[in-house]
Every structure is written in structure tokens, then in C-alpha cells.
Amino acid sequence: AGQSSDSPSNSGDQFSSIGFIASAIGSAIGLGNLWKFPYIAGKHGGGAFLIVFVICLIFVGMPILLAELSIGRGGRGNASTSYLKLSGSKLWARSGFLSIFASFLIMCFYSVVAGWTLYYTFTSFTGSLYESTNFSEHFSQFTGSYGPIIWQLIALLICLAIIMRGVSSGIERFNKILIPLLAIVLVILMVRSLMLPGALEGAEFFFKPDFSKITGESVLDALGQAFFSLSLGMGAMITFGSYVNKKQSLTAATLAVSGGNILYALIAGLIIFPVTFTYGIEAGQGPGLVFAALPAAFEAMPFGSIFGGLFFGLLAMAALTSAVSLLEVNVAYAISKWKWSRARATYLITFIIFLISIPTSLSMGGILGDYKLWGYNLFDLIDYVASNILLPISGLASTLFAGYVWKYAAEESGLTPLWQRGWIFLLRYITPILVAFVFLYSVGLLNI
Ligand code: PFF
């Protein structure tokens, strides 16, 4: 235990302060903000859900985020060896390994969806997307065909090219360009959206709290979303934490990532809801909202193929910066565990992810669409196991580890003594209980 030198997975290749924050934001902001958040907010009645989400983010998300960043920087290893170095216990290292496995599984369907976003970006700019007359049929036809395999391969190759270059000239440089670009496109789209006739109605739906819609289910959805959206429980923040030096304030990073995360989710809502209200699209319709429903609005809008292309391009960029962090979790592990070179680790892992994501993609209505296990197709099964089982368990592990096991957590966090006490209190008595609730609820052992 104790402080050791740099992790062999980065051999001194580190983030700058800006690069670290940009990359952590890049990991956090992803499909979760722009695709998932608007539809679950729509489902749970907009504004009231937003308030619950922000509360969950502050009291559960931020403490765990700071814990994971601290574990990474303190342990200076990958998501598994960091635990080992700080505690000397193999059991904790195994719980860390669980998060690495979760990130591997998530990557096997996240890359599929990243591929869809690339396809929609491309076909929106060329206009061919709008040749279809029924967009939801188009969506299921596309996702059920072989086409997405090519697109997910492109998404994976982009991630590969970045991860190959390492931490500072790969991940950091990519995020330093994409995050500001993302912000610019987001603002352009928001301005466009707010000029639509249904803008007021959409914004009102998004912001006006209707507390009668807040049920136990919506609270747990908000917690789960806060968790996923901050990239917790997947080793990403631990891995990134290990690439930053002691001068970096982890508190500032936590604030920036959480604040940025809320901001992007808010703007995503301000883009999507004015569009749904203006073009009469059902806002609470679920996962198909952005792919199956929004193209109709872009089709009806002047210069819609450009705005549509920008919108899907935004999704693609957000998805790629997150996917890069997921891949890095695995590559960092392989480099230190098997002493592989970065190139070898990146090629092999990307290849395996690609192989597994082929059946994942084909289970979305393609030739494997009829194969179900416990009622789930492969895509949903992987999502379920990773998001509902592995994620809460490894999130629980990082909370308990920083709260009870690792004595120097408070010191590493860099918080002032008063805040340290509040943080440790949350980690000990509040976040583990809430995360445990989410877990029991999502595996069906708790009914509300
Ligand atoms: N935070 C990402 C999103 O909201 O889409 C998803 C994610 C990326 C989770 C990377 C975990 C992770 F390691």
C-alpha cells in the first residue's frame, strides 16, 4: 500500500490540468445527456424530474465522483490496481475489476449506438435520411440490418486512433478540441430551437415542476441517471484520476464535470422539447425519441438537413468522447496486467469489442432479433447486466472504500476539513444506502 510511482499503464504520460478536466467532461457528457436524459425527463414530467436529478447529482453523484478521482490519483494505477495499492487487499482489487468488466460490456453496445449516430449524421447532411416517409420504420429497419456493423466499426476505429496515441496526445488533445466544439454546436442548436413557435411550450414542459409526477420510480431513475451520466462505477474516473498530478484540484474537477454535465443536459432539453412541441412529437415516448421521432421535425424545418446533421453530429461527438474513456479503462488494465504495449492492447481490445458488438447489433431486430435470454435480446441483456448489476455494485465499492477503508481518502480529495467531514459522512451513511436502493430496484427486488 501507499504511494508508488507512476502506473505502468501510462509510463509518465499525463494529462495537463485543462486536458484532465476536458477529458473527464468528455467522458461524462455522452449519449446519457443528449439521448437518455431528455426521454426520461419527458417520461417523468419534465421540470420536477430535473430538480430530483440535480439533487441526486449533488448528494450521490458528486461525492462518488470525487471518491473515484481520488482513488485513481492516490492509487496511481488502473481501476483494479489502484484499489490494491491503497488497501493491499485482493478483494478490493476484484471489485475494481468488476468496473473494468462493466466498461467492457458497456462498450459493446455503446459503440453500436455511436455507430447509429454517425450514420444519422452522415445521412442527414446528405439528405438521404429524409427520403424516408416513416422515420420510426426507417429506424427499426436500419437497426435491424447489417448496416450498423460498418458504422460501429468506424466509431471503434476513431476510438482506436485516439487511444493509440496515449493520454496527452490522444485522449487529451481529442477532448480539448471536441468539448468546445460540442458547446458551440449545442448553442447553435439551442438558439435555433428556441426560435421555433413551440419553444415556450417546450421550455415550460421542461422547466415547470409538476411534483405529482415524482414517484419512487422517478427518484430511482434520477439516481441511476446521475450515476451513469457522471461515468461512475466503470473505472473511467479512476483511470483518468491516475493520469493527473497532485497539483490538480480534484474538487475543482468534480465541480466542473458535474456542472458541465448538468449544463449539457439542460441545453439538450432546450433543444429537444421546443422541437417536439412545435412538430407535435410525443415527448415522453422513450428511447426512439431522437432517432425515430426527431428526423420528422428536421424534415419539416427550413435547412433541416443541416440542423439535423448538426444535431446527430453532436450526439456522435458526445458518444465518441465517452467511448474513448471506456476503451481507455480496458487498455490501461491490459497494459499493466499483461505488460502489453499500448498499440497491442488497443488493437486487441478494440477487435474483441468489435466482434462482440456484431451480435449485439444484430440482436436489434436483425437475424438475432428473435433470440432472447430472460426476455432480453443481447443488446438489452448487456445493458441490463452492466448498468443495473455491475455498475451499482462497483459504485457501492468505491463509496465504501473511500468512506470506510482507505484512511487517506479525505486528504487526497483536497477538501477543506469541514467539507471533508461532510463528504465522508455522505460516503458512509447516505450514498451507499441510496446506491443500494437503486440496485435492489433495478434488479427487481424492490417494488415501489
Ligand atoms: N457518461 C456517459 C453518458 O452519459 O453517456 C456514459 C459513460 C461513459 C459511462 C463512460 C461510463 C463511462 F465510463
Centre of ligand 1 from the C-alpha of residue 434, in Å: 20
How many residues make up the chain in this entry?
448
Q: What is the ipTM of this complex?
A: 0.97
Cβ of 30 less than 6 Å from ligand 1: yes
What is Dmax (Cα atoms) for the chain?
62
Task: Tell me the CA–centroid distance for residue 27 and ligand 1, in Å.
Answer: 6
pLDDT in tens, the chain (448 residues): 333 444 445 567 899 999 999 999 999 999 998 888 888 888 888 888 999 999 999 999 999 999 999 999 999 999 999 999 999 999 999 999 999 999 999 999 999 999 999 999 999 999 999 998 888 889 988 988 899 999 999 999 999 999 999 999 999 999 999 999 999 999 999 999 999 999 999 999 888 888 888 888 888 889 889 999 999 999 999 999 999 999 999 999 999 999 999 999 899 999 999 988 998 888 777 777 888 888 988 998 889 999 999 999 999 999 999 999 999 999 999 999 999 999 999 999 999 999 999 988 888 877 777 777 787 888 888 888 888 888 889 999 999 999 999 998 998 999 999 999 999 999 999 999 999 988 888 788 877 7
Per DSSP, what are the bridge partners of residue 373?
376
CA of 110 to the centre of ligand 1 (A): 9
**pLDDT value, residue 9:** 52
CA of 30 to the centre of ligand 1 (A): 6
CA distances (Å), origin 78, targets 92, 199, 296, 393, 408: 13, 45, 44, 18, 18
pTM here is 0.93
Coil, strand or helix: which one is 101? helix
Q: Is the CB of 27 under 6 A from ligand 1?
A: yes
Task: State the Cα–Cα distance between residues 309 and 188, nearest whole angstrom.
Answer: 12
What backbone torsions phi and psi does residue 233 show, to the nearest 5 degrees? 75, 5
**Distance from the alpha carbon of residue 230 to the mean position of ligand 1, in angstroms:** 6
228 lines ligand 1 (CB under 6 A): yes
Task: Enumerate domains of the chain plus CATH numbers.
Answer: 17-442 (1.10.4160)
> Who's near 262: CB < 8 A, 6+ residues apart?
54, 57
Radius of gyration of the chain (CA): 21
Is any atom of ligand 1 closer than 6 Å to the C-beta of 225? no
CA distance 398 to 72: 11
118, three cell numbers:
454517425
Atom of ligand 1 nearest to the CA of 322: 8
Cell of 125: 447532411
Do residues 74 and 237 make contact, with C-beta atoms less than 8 angstroms apart? no
Is 61 within 8 Å of 232 (Cβ atoms)?
A: yes
Q: Is the CB of 236 under 6 A from ligand 1?
A: yes
For residue 169, give the 3-state DSSP assignment: helix
Residue 65 Cβ inside 6 Å of ligand 1? The answer reads no
Counting ligand 1 atoms within 8 A of each CB, the residue from 322, 383, 388, 398 with the most, and so the one to mutate, is 322
376 forms beta bridges with 373
DSSP letter for each residue of 171-238: IIHHHHHHHHHHHHHHHHHHHHHHTSTTHHHHHHHHHS--GGG--HHHHHHHHHHHHHHTTTTSSHHH
Going from the Cα of 107 to the center of ligand 1, the distance in angstroms, rounded, reads: 10
Nearest partner of 102 among 306, 325, 411, judged by Cα = 325
For residue 414, which of 66, 14, 24 has the smallest C-alpha distance?
66
For the chain, how are helix, strand and coil distributed in percent, rounded to 5?
Answer: 75, 0, 20
Q: How far from each other are the two terminal CA atoms of the chain, in whole angstroms?
A: 43
Contact 364, 144 (CB under 8 A): yes
Give me 433's grid cell.
444506502
Whether the CB of 239 sits within 6 Å of ligand 1: no
Q: Measuring CA to CA, which residue among 30, 275, 314 is closest to residue 183?
A: 314
C-alpha separations of 43 from 35, 233, 239, 254 in Å: 13, 25, 34, 28
